[in-house]
Each structure stands twice: as C-alpha cells, then as structure tokens.
Chains A and B, each alone.
Chain A
Amino acid sequence: MPTRSIERDGGRRPSQLLSPFKDPTTITAIIIVVVPILIIVLYPAASVILRPAAADWNTFFTRPRYLGVLRNSLTISALSTVSATTIGFCFAYALSRPNFPGKFFFRITSILPLVSPPFVAGLALILLLGRRGIITHSILGLDISMYGWHGLWLAQTFAYYPIAAMTLSGVLKSLNPTLEYAAQDLGQSRWGIFRTVVLPMSVPGIASAALLVLMLSLSDFGNPMVIGGPFRVMAVEAYMQVVGMQNLGMGAVVSVMLLLPSLAFFLLQRYYVGRRQYTSVTGKGGRLDPMPIPPAAKWILFAVLTAISLFVVAIFVVIVWGAFARTWGFDWSLTFRNFEFTLLARLGHIWNSVRFSLMAGIGTAIFSVIAAYVLYRRQFTGKRAFDFLVVLPAALPGTLVGIAFIFAFNRPPLLLTGTATIIVLSMAVRNVPIGYRTALSGLHQIDKSIEESAADGGANTFQILKDITLPLLKTAFTVTLVYTFIRSMNTVSAVVFLVSAGTNVATTSILGLAEHGYWGEAAAMATILIAITSSVVILFRLIGGKRLFEL
C-alpha cells in the first residue's frame, strides 16, 4: 500500500533531541519567538493579573452571582463550540468532495461571516429575527425575543463556523483518498467509510478547530454585548467592572477566572491530540480523486448548507441595504446621505484601519510561521510551555488586552501609548494563535521524511527550501495574513482603549455611531469595510493565492 499513517509521539525520535545550548540556530529561533511573546503577551497580562487585592478574589467566590456568570460562559461556549464546529465540518467536508454542487457559492458563504463588522451584524440579526423581525414577525408572525442565550448561541455559531471550516479544510483536503477506497474494497458501506476512516482521521483537526472556537467564544465580547440581553457572560462582566464600575481589580479577577477554563481546555486538548496525530501525506505514491459523496447525504448536506448560507447572505443584504436606507429598520427608501458623513469625515479612520490591519497581518503571518516551524520541527526543553504561550492570547478577552496594554506600555522604556505600534501589536497578538495553528496543521500534514528523503535523493538545501518547506509555509503565511487583516479591520474591544487622536480606526467610529443610534451611518461605514475586506480577499486569490480559502 502506497500510504500509511504514522502514530506520532509528538515529533522527534530521541536521537534527534538537541540541547538548545549546543545549537546556535535553535537558540536564535527560540529567542525570536519567545522574547516578543514575553513582552507583548505575558508582561501586559501579568501587569493586570497581579492588580486585584485579596478582597476582590474574596468577593468573586463569596457572591453566587459571579459563579453563575462563569457557568453561563461555560455553557454558551460549549453549545457554540459544538454547533460552530459541526457546521464548519459540514462546509469543509462538502467542499473537499468532487461532486458537491454550488461549490463557488458555498466557498464564499463558508467564510463570509468573517468580514462582518462589529455591532452592525448584531443589529441586522435583531432586524431579521427580533420581536418585530422581518423573518420572525413579518413572515412567520411570531413574537419572540432574540435577546438571551438562544440569540447569543445563534450569533456565536454564525460568527465562528468559518474558523472551524478554515481549520478543518486543510485536514479534510489532505486525507488520502486511497484509505477510503481501501475501506470500500474491504466491504465497508459509505456510512461505514465515513465513520471508520474520515471521522477518525479528522479527529485531531476537529479537536484543534473546537479548541479555537471554544477559546474565542469564551472570550467573546461583541456578540454577548449586543444580543446577550439578560444572559451575562464573563467577558461582558469584566467590561462592566472596568467601564461601568471603574473597578479594575474586580475586572482583572473576572478576566483571570475566564482564563482558567481556556487553560484547562487547552491542556486537555494537548493531552488528547498530542497522543493521536496522523500524517497522511507521506510523499509516497500518487493521489486518487477524493471519493464522491453518496447522493442522499449530498442532498441533505446541500439543503442544510443552503439554509445557513442564505441566512448569512440575508444578514449582509440587510447591512448594505441599511447603509442606503433613510431610516434603519423603519423607512427603507434609498438615499446616499449616510455615506456623505462617513466619506467626508471618516476617511482617515478607514485608511488607518487598512494600514494598521495590513501591518498586523504581515507581522502576524511572519511570526506565526516562524513560531510554528520552530516549535514543530525542533525539540527543546520547555517546548510545551512555549507552545502554550503562543496560543494563550486567544483566551484573553479583548477588553483585558486593551487595558493591559495601557498599563504595560504607558511608561518608559516601553512608552507606546498613542502610537500606531501599540494598535498594530494589539491586533497582531490576538491573531497569532490562529496563524500559528494554521501553520502547524500545514506542517502536520507533511511528514518530515519528505525533507529527509529529498536530501537523500540529492536535493540541496535551497531546493528543499524552495520546493518543499516554503510552498508549505507560503499557504499558511498567506492565509494568516489575510485572516489577520480581516479580523483586525473588524476588531473593536481592545482598540477602543488604545486609539489616539491621530490613530483612530473605522471600527471605533462604527461603535460611536451605533451607540448614538445613527444606525444608517454605522451601516454605511460597515459597508465600506466589507467592500475593502472582500476586495483584499479577492485580490489575494487572484494573485497566486489559489489555495487560499479554497475550502
């Protein structure tokens, strides 16, 4: 059989363990990864975490309300993780098969929610599904409130399924089809093949995607703020303590308590996935076409994905229409008025958003690729701790990152407040975990023996670099760059604390407009952001990034 899977024990064989002190490259590489993490993740986090007094901790554990909020956070994250990962898997699976209809459309809708700007999507959701919602009230004649855990569940599911789809697409595309054909030859039914080959082979990918979604939904602030209603979660509680009560100590306590479950899940995932890693691209033998989906399953999947996609499209239609409407949600006749203010007064903010996000994208992509390469391909003491540190920022709520950055970087020698650097760093730091995961899953797919055998076969270092390693990292690099760009264009929770007069960005404008009820103008600004981010994605796809987002 030309293919096999190798059960790994986390990387190297013992003979290749190197002491970092004997290998200058390793030391250099570790320094490149570790020093920035210590400075931009651990130092700010510590400066906030060490603030609360003992009394604050006491308050948290003696008031039943706080533990209730913690329970809410855990419950909603668990629900959202299951639903978002399932939908993400459906998208990734359908798009990895040759005979799935409407791939072009589904490719777009599988990542579309990523480009939705903050707050406006929440407003659109209420407009569609609220008590006077277009779908719920006008069409179905219902009178239900979206505010609460169910609305939040829906919002988070839609917000995070693209991340699961992105993480899983690489895994599902690289499953070697010969395994499935072999199972078929051995008499397995189509369902049996899915159950015994596809699913088990995807387990590490699913676990990785689920962990990311879990961390993001635990620290999610925007969705619960807009649609959570009476259902209070930890990220909002932390914000309330800092912003509503001016109680920074309590805000820090809540943030730390939010960090702990993320940490626990992270360790769990490490333990679980660390023991079962499958490599199916070994470089040995050619590839068959992926096995088609059987008709019944295909059409069920098609119906489900169509329903989800149409809903996502509806949200965007509402946002864009709202941008041109006279009064959001009330008078839908068309006007250009909303764009006048936006374009005249806020063009500088939009330009700042674009350049900061681009810088953050490039920085994050380079850093993530190096971090993944170093931590995956090398063995050194403390490797697990470093791996943890790289993923840690995903668990930090944005509000905490913002406040922590002010504390850490508002005094010499690191006097960065008011500069563009601090904004770019805050954008980058929150996306490194995802970039790192993307690069890592790319590296996981290719067995190191390919590099070694290329060397055996006489390829020189440059050829290996050019033909194997760089192409492999190029995809991860581009995906991370574009993904970070999109997310940074739409981020708000950390930057509100960091923008200065000269470095204001578009999302803080949207926040201000939405807060004062200027929804039309907020939608206009959002529409401009959507146009920019979509153009960037299309541009990257046109220039050589063929594999980019090709789920």
Chain B
Amino acid sequence: MFIQTDNSTKGVVMLRRLLGLLCASAFLLVFAGASAFAGGTQEEAELDIADDELIVYSPLHEYEISRILSQFERETGINTEFIRLSAGEMAARIVAESNNPGGDVFFGGPSETHEAIIPEGVLRPYESPRAAETDSDFHHPEFYWSGFYVGPMGFAINTDRWESEIGGDYPSTWEDLLDPALEGEVLMASPAASGTAYNIAATQFFRYDTEDEAWDYLAQLDRNTPFYTTSGAAPARQAGTGEVIVGLAFAHDVMKPIDAGFPLALSIPENAGWEIGAVSIIDGGPNPEAAEAFVDWILGPDAQQLHTDLSLRISTHPDVQMPPGATPLAELSLVDYDYEWAGENRSRIVEEWNERFE
C-alpha cells in the first residue's frame, strides 16, 4: 500500500507546488482586493483635506446625532460624518488612536469622561467666543471641554409593580431606596463601568459629612441591589420591563422609555446628583477649524434648542426653553456636586467600591 514510486512522489510534489502556487495567487488577489478597497477609502479621505468636513465622535443617540449634524451641515456647508459609541468606549478609542487621531470632536457624554482623558494629552483646549453666554460652572476652567446640557439623576419606577407590590408615594429621597420591601428591586450600574453609576456613588460623598457615612449608605443600598449592570441607562429600561421595581439613571435616560410607552414614572430625589454633558476637541484631529466651528455652533442657543427638543435634556444656555415635563434646574434640590473632587478621587472610590461590593 505504501510503496513509493518515483512517479508518485514526483506527482505529489508537483501537485503540492501547483496547489501552493494556486493558493498563493488567490491569497494575494484577495488581500490586494482588500487593500484596493481600503485604498479607495483613503483616497476619498485625502481629497477632503480642506476643512469642509468634520468627523464627530459621539455617545449620544444616533437619531439625535444625525438630526443635529444635518442642521449643522445646512447652516455651515461643512459635511459631517459620525461614529457612535458609549462614552467610555469613545474615550478608550480616542486614547488608543492618539498617534493618528481619527476624529475631530468628542460630542456629548459626561464631562467626567472628558476630564479623565485630559492627562493623556488627547484633548485640545478651545475657548469658544460663545462660552461667555453660559455660566462658568459649565465649562472646564482651561476650556478643555465645554458643557452644553445638564441632566439630574432620577429614579425610574415601574408603576404597575409599585402599585401592586409596594404602594404609597413613590420614593423621593435616597433613604427611601433603603426600604426592606425593595430588597432585590433597586438596580443601578457599576461605578467601575458607568459614569452614571459613579455619579450616584460620588453623590453620597457630597451628601454626608464623612466618607464612612457615605460608604455606610452605599453598603445599605447594596443590600437592596440584585446586581450591578454595565450600562448606565440599562436600569431604567429594566425597570420598564418589570425586571426590577426601581432603576437609577439620569432623568433623560428615564424619559426615553417613558416616551416609548413603558409603565414608568420619573422621580428626581432630594440631593440629586447631576451631570454636565460636554463637547471637546480632539488634539491633532484631521479638521481642526471645522472642529472649532462645530463647538461655536453647538454652544449657540438655536443648536441647543434643537438638541433639547430631540433629547429632553436641559440646556446650559439660558435662552433655551425647557423640554416638556422637565423641571428647571433651579427648582430641583441638587447636591453640591464637586466635579474636581469627583474626578480626582475616581479611581480610589471605584477601587474601594469594587473591593466592597463586587
């Protein structure tokens, strides 16, 4: 069976050579094809070196981004393209790309996420001429980022389950969440994963005089929490479907599922935390002038009104009208949220939080 003849060996070797050659050419063909594909994209990009294009990196909702950007295109004639990722993913990507930045502006997401990547040297400070129109609390002291919306923290309450299983008034203070009847029914994200959840954790440190008291509160809250989600907006949606009775999320993330028809109510507690939604310019991005034009435009009242109407978030600009159903910031009882402290202590708090509760 295994007798080897010169003929067969030669045949097999020839066969192998032929096959090798065949496959090699096919392989090269495919990868040449792939490069040609890519080459096309690169050439297109190079044609547009003049600043009539803008690449937007944004964690906002796609629908909002595309409506806002098409308005920007109409008003300025600058073509736009965007990529949507969660704020954390976006930040990781901007840092990883810093050798050769792919985006021009980082549009939206909590200021803390913008703040976190300043030390990496990936953002460029820019003081917009419109910055003076908004309160100085709403931008970075050196203008690494500028805020264009403000969102208070809220409780999303599943009305069906609340009425049939708990009853009475909806929770309106942080202490209300500690009710033993809510065991396993209060959902929040993990501060290690989500800016929303870190905001909740940090709020407790501003509410109490000592850190021990804050940790004590978080430990009690942990008893009512079945687990911690990875996405900051997820708890509101899970309360919507009845997985839990109460979900903690920013008010605008609660308004969305309410709009979609879920049986939810929004309650903004006393001493609520709040976020500033920021826009920043990516250092070394391909279209620096268009990036500045965009920041100037979005900080203006018309663009902010459009954003507020689309997203139900509260604008930082004094001339913008409140979204329907939203309470003006001045009428809310907000905690005295110290962004500098929150940024500086983030890794320490999150590490300890991980140790205690994960």
Cβ–Cβ contact B243 & A131, under 8 A: yes
Question: Contact string, B249-292, partner A, CB cutoff 8 A, digits 1/0?
Answer: 00001001100111100000000000000000000000000000
Cβ–Cβ contact B117 & A501, under 8 A: no
CB-CB under 8 A for A449 and B1, given A246-B117, A370-B23: yes
A83 in contact (CB, < 8 A) = no
Cβ–Cβ contact A248 & B92, under 8 A: yes
Cβ–Cβ contact A419 & B41, under 8 A: yes
Cβ–Cβ contact B12 & A451, under 8 A: yes
Question: Given the complex, which residues of A lie within 8 Å of B355, measured CB to CB?
Answer: 63, 65
Cβ–Cβ contact B96 & A407, under 8 A: yes
Cβ–Cβ contact A229 & B350, under 8 A: no
User: In the complex, how many angstroms separate the beta carbon of B116 from the nearest chain A beta carbon?
Assistant: 5
CA distance A411 to B101 in the complex (A): 11
Cβ–Cβ contact B20 & A418, under 8 A: no
Cβ–Cβ contact B27 & A367, under 8 A: yes
Question: Given the complex, which residues of A lie within 8 Å of B88, measured CB to CB?
Answer: 243-244, 246
CA distance A327 to B31 in the complex (A): 44
Cβ–Cβ contact B92 & A403, under 8 A: yes
Question: Contact string, A359-377, partner B, CB cutoff 8 A, digits 1/0?
Answer: 1001100110110011001
Of residues 231 through 259 on chain A, the ones whose CB sits less than 8 Å from some CB of chain B are 232, 236, 239-240, 242-248
Cβ–Cβ contact A245 & B12, under 8 A: no
Contact pick for A501, options B31, B83, B260, CB 8 Å? B83
Question: Given the complex, which residues of A lie within 8 Å of B56, measured CB to CB?
Answer: 501
CA distance A126 to B92 in the complex (A): 30
User: In the complex, how many angstroms separate the beta carbon of A283 from the nearest chain B beta carbon?
Assistant: 10
Cβ–Cβ contact B226 & A145, under 8 A: yes
CA distance A236 to B96 in the complex (A): 19
Stretch at the interface among B142-150, B231-239, B313-321: B231-239
CB-CB under 8 A for A240 and B41, given A410-B99, A421-B35: no
A298 in contact (CB, < 8 A) = no
CA distance A169 to B19 in the complex (A): 27
Cβ–Cβ contact A28 & B20, under 8 A: yes
Stretch at the interface among B124-132, B190-198, B207-215, B328-336: B190-198
Cβ–Cβ contact B81 & A497, under 8 A: no
User: In the complex, how many angstroms separate the beta carbon of A94 from the nearest chain B beta carbon?
Assistant: 35
Question: Contact string, A374-397, partner B, CB cutoff 8 A, digits 1/0?
Answer: 100110000000000000000000
Question: Given the complex, which residues of B lie within 8 Å of A422, measured CB to CB?
Answer: 38
Write the chain A residue with the least CB distance to B263.
Answer: A330
Stretch at the interface among B60-68, B175-183, B300-308: B60-68
Write the chain B residue with the least CB distance to A59.
Answer: B351
CA distance A239 to B88 in the complex (A): 10
Contact pick for A246, options B8, B91, B261, CB 8 Å? B91
Cβ–Cβ contact B92 & A373, under 8 A: no
Cβ–Cβ contact A147 & B89, under 8 A: no
A288 in contact (CB, < 8 A) = no
Question: Contact string, A212-227, partner B, CB cutoff 8 A, digits 1/0?
Answer: 0000000000000100
Cβ–Cβ contact A236 & B230, under 8 A: yes
Question: Given the complex, which residues of B lie within 8 Å of A512, measured CB to CB?
Answer: 61-62, 84-85
Cβ–Cβ contact A148 & B37, under 8 A: no
Question: Given the complex, which residues of A lie within 8 Å of B110, measured CB to CB?
Answer: none
Cβ–Cβ contact A500 & B27, under 8 A: no
Question: Given the complex, which residues of B lie within 8 Å of A330, measured CB to CB?
Answer: 240-241, 261-263
Contact pick for B8, options A417, A456, A469, CB 8 Å? A456
Question: Given the complex, which residues of B lie within 8 Å of A25, measured CB to CB?
Answer: 13, 16-17, 20
B15 in contact (CB, < 8 A) = yes
B327 in contact (CB, < 8 A) = no
Question: Given the complex, which residues of A lie within 8 Å of B11, measured CB to CB?
Answer: 455, 459-461, 464
CA distance A366 to B30 in the complex (A): 9
Cβ–Cβ contact B23 & A327, under 8 A: no
CB-CB under 8 A for A244 and B97, given A424-B34, A449-B2, A452-B12: no
CA distance A362 to B32 in the complex (A): 13
Question: Given the complex, which residues of B lie within 8 Å of A239, measured CB to CB?
Answer: 230
CB-CB under 8 A for A453 and B1, given A330-B241, A418-B102: yes
Question: Given the complex, which residues of B lie within 8 Å of A230, measured CB to CB?
Answer: 226-228
Question: Given the complex, which residues of A lie within 8 Å of B233, measured CB to CB?
Answer: 515-517
Question: Given the complex, which residues of B lie within 8 Å of A245, measured CB to CB?
Answer: 192, 347, 350
B95 in contact (CB, < 8 A) = yes
A132 in contact (CB, < 8 A) = yes
Write the chain A residue with the least CB distance to B39.
Answer: A419
Cβ–Cβ contact A248 & B95, under 8 A: yes
Question: Given the complex, which residues of B lie within 8 Å of A516, measured CB to CB?
Answer: 61, 233, 253, 256
A513 in contact (CB, < 8 A) = yes
Interface of B, secondary structure class, is: helix
CB-CB under 8 A for A132 and B241, given A246-B91, A455-B12: yes
A504 in contact (CB, < 8 A) = yes
A508 in contact (CB, < 8 A) = yes
Cβ–Cβ contact B1 & A240, under 8 A: no
CA distance A455 to B16 in the complex (A): 13
Of residues 87 through 121 on chain B, the ones whose CB sits less than 8 Å from some CB of chain A are 88-89, 91-93, 95-97, 99-100, 102, 116-117, 120
Cβ–Cβ contact A455 & B262, under 8 A: no
CA distance A330 to B33 in the complex (A): 47
A475 in contact (CB, < 8 A) = no
CA distance A378 to B20 in the complex (A): 12
A420 in contact (CB, < 8 A) = yes
CA distance A366 to B241 in the complex (A): 46
CA distance A362 to B15 in the complex (A): 23
CA distance A422 to B194 in the complex (A): 28
A289 in contact (CB, < 8 A) = no
Write the chain A residue with the least CB distance to B85.
Answer: A496
User: In the complex, how many angstroms separate the beta carbon of B106 from the nearest chain A beta carbon?
Assistant: 13
B75 in contact (CB, < 8 A) = no
Question: Given the complex, which residues of A lie within 8 Å of B82, measured CB to CB?
Answer: 501
A503 in contact (CB, < 8 A) = yes
User: In the complex, how many angstroms separate the beta carbon of B315 from the nearest chain A beta carbon?
Assistant: 19
A465 in contact (CB, < 8 A) = yes
Question: Given the complex, which residues of A lie within 8 Å of B8, measured CB to CB?
Answer: 452, 455-456
CB-CB under 8 A for A363 and B31, given A145-B226, A403-B96, A497-B93: yes
User: In the complex, how many angstroms separate the beta carbon of B28 from the nearest chain A beta carbon?
Assistant: 9
Cβ–Cβ contact A517 & B241, under 8 A: no
Question: Contact string, B46-73, partner A, CB cutoff 8 A, digits 1/0?
Answer: 0000000001100001110010000000
User: In the complex, how many angstroms separate the beta carbon of B96 from the nearest chain A beta carbon?
Assistant: 4
B151 in contact (CB, < 8 A) = no
B24 in contact (CB, < 8 A) = yes
Cβ–Cβ contact B354 & A65, under 8 A: yes
CA distance A456 to B12 in the complex (A): 11
B86 in contact (CB, < 8 A) = yes
Cβ–Cβ contact A502 & B81, under 8 A: yes
Cβ–Cβ contact A132 & B242, under 8 A: yes
Cβ–Cβ contact A501 & B81, under 8 A: yes
B326 in contact (CB, < 8 A) = no
Cβ–Cβ contact B17 & A501, under 8 A: no
A543 in contact (CB, < 8 A) = no
User: In the complex, how many angstroms separate the beta carbon of A456 from the nearest chain B beta carbon?
Assistant: 6
CB-CB under 8 A for A503 and B41, given A132-B242, A421-B34: yes
A345 in contact (CB, < 8 A) = yes
Question: Contact string, A435-450, partner B, CB cutoff 8 A, digits 1/0?
Answer: 0000000000000010
Question: Contact string, B3-21, partner A, CB cutoff 8 A, digits 1/0?
Answer: 1110110011111111111
A43 in contact (CB, < 8 A) = no
B169 in contact (CB, < 8 A) = no
Contact pick for B19, options A373, A452, A455, A518, CB 8 Å? A373
Additional 5 contacts, C-beta under 8 A, given A131-B242, A145-B243, A248-B92 = A243-B88, A244-B193, A359-B33, A359-B37, A452-B2
Name 11 A/B residue pairs within 8 A (Cβ), A-sorted.
A32-B20, A244-B230, A246-B116, A329-B240, A417-B100, A421-B34, A449-B2, A502-B41, A517-B233, A517-B257, A517-B260
